[in-house]
Amino acid sequence: MSAMANNRLELLQGTLDMIILRTLLLGRAHGHEIARHIQRTTDDLLQVEHGSLYPALHRLERRGWVTAKWEKAEGGNREFKYYRLTAAGRRQLVREESKWKQLTGAIARLLGSEQENA
């Protein structure tokens, strides 16, 4: 894989990781709830497919940023794997949000400079 493709993959994974961590800041949730929250909060603009969500959740769990536990759903007998943010995950979220703000600020400056030159 080329360095450029690898950087793009890291950016996409980092962005998805940040969005998941941010969602879990609100409290524990299972995968479907996380995907639904992201979709609803972004007015359907962002839709995280299960094929991307669950590998990301497993990656976050391996890194110690989230923990997971099988629990029965409220009012039912069905069990779901609920994810929770860890202290390390909270610290990572702060780092990711800081990087995101720097990136979006740089892009905003670029777009602003193009409008000034037009």
- Evaluate whether residue 5 is within a structural domain: no
Each residue's pLDDT tens digit, 96-111? 999 999 989 999 999 9
Euclidean distance between CA atoms 34 and 24, whole angstroms: 8
- Here the CATH number for the domain that contains residue 31 is 1.10.10.10
Strand partners, 83: 29, 68
Euclidean distance between CA atoms 51 and 30, whole angstroms: 15
- Evaluate whether residue 38 is within a structural domain: yes
Residue 50 has pLDDT above 50, yes or no: yes
Can you give the residue range of the structural domain that contains 53? 10-117
- Evaluate whether residue 16 is within a structural domain: yes
- Evaluate whether residue 72 is within a structural domain: yes
- In terms of pLDDT, which residue wins out, 35 or 5? 35
- Evaluate whether residue 1 is within a structural domain: no
Question: Is residue 39 very low, low, confident or very high in pLDDT (cuts 50, 70, 90)?
Answer: very high
Q: Give residue 2's pLDDT.
A: 60
- CA-to-CA separations, 48 to 12, 21, 81, in angstroms, rounded: 12, 14, 17
- Evaluate whether residue 86 is within a structural domain: yes
Q: Give residue 9's pLDDT.
A: 46
Work out the average pLDDT over 47-71: 96
Euclidean distance between CA atoms 2 and 7, whole angstroms: 9
Number of domains the chain contains: 1
Residue 81 has pLDDT above 90, yes or no: yes
